[in-house]
């Protein structure tokens, strides 16, 4: 299993991935060329022919665009766990609801997705078990969560 971190490896002592239960850490600055940050699923549909990780800013319901993306099997949606953890109150509830619906559609149509902690320091790194538990809150079972975390390594 793999994780994607936001902090620079030069800034702090490099954490050992095995200590957290991962095979390897990837750093955001190193993989920027393999990652596209887009506003919504319509913009992501423009990237359907590229083998790329897509980080959505909004998980609004768009079944048609997701179906088109899922048919090509090239795009993998990257879900930022830190965004859920940092949100508070009603905004967190709305984000959880949108993400739950989004993942339900991903499973229905067979679209690829992966989770990453996007930790900004060593204390924010989540273990695979913690990420799997968060994924269960989003309607996935443990097997789906583990498969999603392994997807990240195949695309990077």
89-145: pLDDT as tens digits:
999 999 999 999 999 999 999 989 999 888 888 888 888 899 999 999 888 998 888
Lowest mean pLDDT among 5-9, 31-35, 59-63: 5-9
Ordered DSSP codes for 25-67: EEEGGGSGGGEEEESSHHHHHTTTTS--EEEES-----HHHHH
pLDDT band at 11 (very low <50, low <70, confident <90, very high): low
End-to-end Cα, the chain, rounded Å: 12
Cβ neighbour number for residue 83 with a 10 Å cutoff: 14
For the chain, what is the domain count? 1
CATH code of the domain containing 87: 3.20.20.140
pLDDT band at 88 (very low <50, low <70, confident <90, very high): very high
pLDDT score of 12 more than 70? no
pLDDT score of 19 more than 90? no
Cβ-based neighbours of 99, under 8 Å, separated by 6 or more? 59, 79, 84, 138
Please tell me the distance from the alpha carbon of residue 121 to that of residue 37, in angstroms, as a whole number: 21
User: What domain range is 32 assigned to?
Assistant: 2-155
Q: Which helix (H) or strand (E) holds 114?
A: strand 112-116
- Report pLDDT for 103: 92
DSSP-derived pairing of the beta strands 24-27 and 2-5: parallel
- Report pLDDT for 90: 94
- Could you tell me the maximum CA-CA distance found in the chain, to the nearest angstrom? 45
């Amino acid at each position: 299993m793999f994780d994607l971190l936001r902090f620079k490896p030069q800034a702090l002592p490099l954490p050992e991935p095995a200590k957290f239960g991962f095979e390897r850490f990837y750093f955001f600055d190193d993989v920027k060329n393999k990652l596209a940050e887009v506003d919504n699923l319509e913009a992501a549909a423009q990237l359907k022919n590229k083998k790329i990780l897509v980080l959505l800013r909004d998980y609004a319901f768009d079944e048609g665009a997701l179906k088109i993306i899922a048919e090509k099997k090239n795009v993998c949606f990257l879900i930022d766990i830190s965004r859920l953890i940092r949100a508070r109150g009603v905004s967190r509830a709305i984000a959880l609801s949108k993400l739950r619906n989004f993942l339900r559609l991903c499973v229905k149509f067979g679209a690829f997705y992966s989770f990453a902690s996007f930790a900004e320091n060593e204390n924010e790194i989540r273990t695979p078990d913690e990420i799997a538990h968060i994924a269960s809150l989003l309607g996935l079972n443990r097997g789906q969560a583990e498969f999603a975390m392994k997807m990240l390594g195949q695309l990077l």
